Amino acid sequence: MGISFSSSHSSPPSPSPTCGMDELPESCVALIMEYLDPPQICKLATLTRTFRAASSADFVWESKLPSNYHVLVRQIFNGLPTDFENGKRGIYSALCRTNTFDGGTKKLWLDKNIGKLCMCIAAKGLSITGISDRRYWNYIPTEESRFSTVAFLQQIWWFEVDGEVEFPFPAGTYSLFFRLHLGQPSKRFGRRVCNTEHVHGWDVKPVRFQLCTSDGQFVTSQCFLREPGKWSFYHGGNFVVEDGNTSTKIKFSMTQIDCTHTKGGLCVDSVLVYPSEVRKVKSFLSCS
């Protein structure tokens, strides 16, 4: 009876085979990746061979590239980058690297997280009143600059820094910043020190910033320079680009031309152009 009882109950059904991630169709994985950020795509590409293959799909990376990437490629690489054989992913990777042009005075790259264009212009790429007179200005080497050199102001009556750039910026809104430092930073016995001996005059009258574009945009603002001993980003204004297939020319300046007093002890490193939305994720850009 015991035998007949046990035989009347069938054995539990074996579990149905599960579908592993590597068995997902490559095309489906690629469609999902199209909605992810570049860092997320790169992380998923390390999971399986299917994910790695899907992460190479051209349409995935074309959606991350600026709409005028073909114009940028011609402008920066004079053709195609060396790793163009990797398709759109290779172009994205090449644009994300820091690309130097215009005699080494400008650097350009895509922000890896959002795929937006960023630009940095060296002090040597700016027009600085009195820069050729060593009584006022000197170029000093430093590890704290992308360009390894900054312009240091000892003392001057008429302070004026001007610059301009013409470039096919992708459509969007951009913010311009001056990277400045009150005092002269250096290293002593391996430690960072700052000489503030020459810092003076910046608390008497504010510095005026101006920005204008070739399509008639104009912005002006002013503020005092503060916080000796640290690099600060002073907002020079915003501008909007409507058409990324044509070059936009921007002119900008930073002045303090009240000749009733001298001012000095300032390091001018560079001017940065960032997509305005970057200010939300880079807190150091909100200091001015």
Residue 3: is its pLDDT beyond 60? Answer: no
pTM for the structure as a whole? 0.84
146 and 48 fall within a common domain: no
pLDDT in the model for residue 35: 83
Residue 29: is its pLDDT beyond 50? Answer: yes
Task: Flag whether 104 is in a domain.
Answer: no
260 and 206 fall within a common domain: yes
91 and 136 fall within a common domain: no
| 188-234 pLDDT, tens digit each | 888 999 999 999 999 999 999 999 999 999 999 999 999 999 999 99
Q: Which of 97, 124, 147 is the last residue of a domain?
A: 97
Domain of 166 in residue numbering reads as 116-275
- Residue 213's identity, in one-letter code, is T
Task: Flag whether 21 is in a domain.
Answer: no
Residue 14: is its pLDDT beyond 70? Answer: no
49 and 165 fall within a common domain: no
CA distance 275 to 177: 11
91 and 131 fall within a common domain: no
Eight-state DSSP code of residue 49: H
81 and 137 fall within a common domain: no
Task: Flag whether 5 is in a domain.
Answer: no
Task: Flag whether 206 is in a domain.
Answer: yes
Q: Considering only CA atoms, which of 68, 271, 267 is closest in space to residue 180?
A: 267
Task: Flag whether 12 is in a domain.
Answer: no
Number of separate domains in the chain: 2
- pLDDT, greater one: 247 or 281: 247
187 and 74 fall within a common domain: no
Strand 172-182 and strand 231-241: the pairing is antiparallel
Q: Are 87 and 58 in contact (CB under 8 A)?
A: yes
Task: Flag whether 8 is in a domain.
Answer: no
Q: Which of 97, 125, 157 is the last residue of a domain?
A: 97
205 and 93 fall within a common domain: no
Task: Flag whether 161 is in a domain.
Answer: yes
CA distance 264 to 201: 7
81 and 212 fall within a common domain: no
CA distance 192 to 147: 19
35 and 143 fall within a common domain: no
Residue 18: is its pLDDT beyond 80? Answer: no
Q: Which of 97, 130, 149 is the last residue of a domain?
A: 97
Task: Flag whether 281 is in a domain.
Answer: no
